[in-house]
Amino acid sequence: MDPAQAQRTARDPDGVDEWQRLVAADARGDDKVVEAALRPRRLDELIGQERVREQLGLVLQAALRRGHPPDHILLSGPPGLGKTTIALIVAHELGTPIRVTSGPAIQHAGDLAAILSSLAEGEVLFLDEIHRMARPAEEMLYMAMEDFRVDVVVGKGPGAMAIPLDIPHFTLVGATTRAGLLPGPLRDRFGFTAHLDFYEPAEIELILRRSARLLDVHLTADGGVEIAGRSRGTPRIANRLLRRVRDFAQVRADGVVTAEAAQAALALYEVDQRGLDRLDRAVLGALLDRFGGGPVGLSTLAVAVGEEAETVEEVAEPFLVRAGLLARTPRGRVATAAAWEHLGRTPPADGAGWAALVAAQRAVPPRGQPGWPAQDQLFGPEA
């Protein structure tokens, strides 16, 4: 099961779909509608991602001066950070139309050939989740990106023949949440590659202020700070929390999104001060209360929580590791001191879990020396 499927099929301890989690980074149906209205249209309206914004601006300005489509662009990073938004900005800055599709929608080479042959000169093709494209279509894309030509095979068996088909010069903008799954030949054909990082709280506050203006929501400064601190550094989650707090403020308060309203609303939706929801706290709670902070194996932890191992690994663990609340070690999952403090628990006197984490770190030889493990051996597979 791939990560996207794991997130869509996961269940929290009370039987609620992961797709319904308030802090899920994947887009839902209502998110897509609202995001379309909130997305910035120009590069100078984009908040955060300063390095990517400056680099991409140079690429686009140079292409406009040359009067030629820019190099193909690859955007990677976790969901909800603005890859689709940047693709739409690219088309707007170039003054060209954009064709939007996704990797899972292209299952045959003929599907891709039909799209490519219908593009206009200089058009932008946005291919979301490009790592999930079928292999035959992927191999056709190699030639299209490099030579702007595809070979359409007609017939079968000995009588089959390949008909070369020239296609207009276009700019491919690929987006992926799993850059490591892209084949090397495909990655090498992108002239510009950018990785989107999680946003700082101050940047999330600016995004919330802009969204509040567009949604006609009265957001106070302290209300923005409160929501930003629980948004996991992800604009999509921040905008979703803003809408839920707005609903609470309109129904149970005076319509103003203050810090008090945000605290009450997010307590109702069970999103705590660090952005953890019920599933996250269930994983940490089981690790602390039942296993003394670890180390404990993934499958054992999943059984204790009542979830599939893939759900714990792909849905809950990435944020817990990034927040410094959980560590992956060769001996299993271990809670950090911050996890004990966050849940208000007292670590056991022997500190077995923390000792295992320290011992695992000390056992690693210097980088580059014999015995140096790969990242997956130290921290588990990249999520």
Which domain, by its residues, includes 315?
278-379
How much is the pTM?
0.78
Q: Per the residue annotation, which of 85, 171, 176, 177 is the catalytic one?
A: 177
In a domain, 322, yes or no: yes
Rounded CA separation 357/7 (Å): 28
- Which of 195, 216, 239 corresponds to the end of one domain? 195
128 is catalytic: yes
- Tell me which residue of 221, 220, 240, 217 sits closest to 230, measured CA to CA: 240
- Which of 195, 228, 257 corresponds to the end of one domain? 195
177 is catalytic: yes
In a domain, 6, yes or no: no
CB-CB contact of 196 with 77 (8 Å): yes
Q: Kindly state the average pLDDT of the residues 195-209.
A: 93
Q: What's the structural domain count of the chain?
A: 3
Q: What values do phi and psi take at 126, rounded to 5?
A: -100, 120
In a domain, 97, yes or no: yes
28 is catalytic: no
In a domain, 308, yes or no: yes
CB-CB contact of 234 with 198 (8 Å): yes
Residue range 58-115, pLDDT digits in tens: 999 999 999 999 999 999 999 989 899 999 999 999 999 999 999 999 988 888 888 9
84 is catalytic: yes
CB-CB contact of 246 with 217 (8 Å): yes
Residue 4 has pLDDT above 80, yes or no: no
Give the per-residue pLDDT at 369: 55
CATH code of residue 299: 1.10.10.10
In a domain, 70, yes or no: yes
Q: Per the residue annotation, which of 128, 232, 246, 333 is the catalytic one?
A: 128
CATH code of residue 90: 3.40.50.300
For 331, residues 6+ apart whose C-beta sits below 8 A from its C-beta are 295, 356, 360
234-261 burial, b if ≥16 CB within 10 A, otherwise e?
A: bbbbbbbbbebbbebbeeeeeeebbeeb
Query: Is the same domain home to 179 and 90?
Result: yes
Tokens 């945000």, located at residue:
262
In a domain, 39, yes or no: no
Query: Is the same domain home to 150 and 169?
Result: yes
- Which of 132, 165, 195 corresponds to the end of one domain? 195
Query: Is the same domain home to 355 and 335?
Result: yes
333 is catalytic: no
Give the per-residue pLDDT at 159: 65
Query: Is the same domain home to 87 and 178?
Result: yes
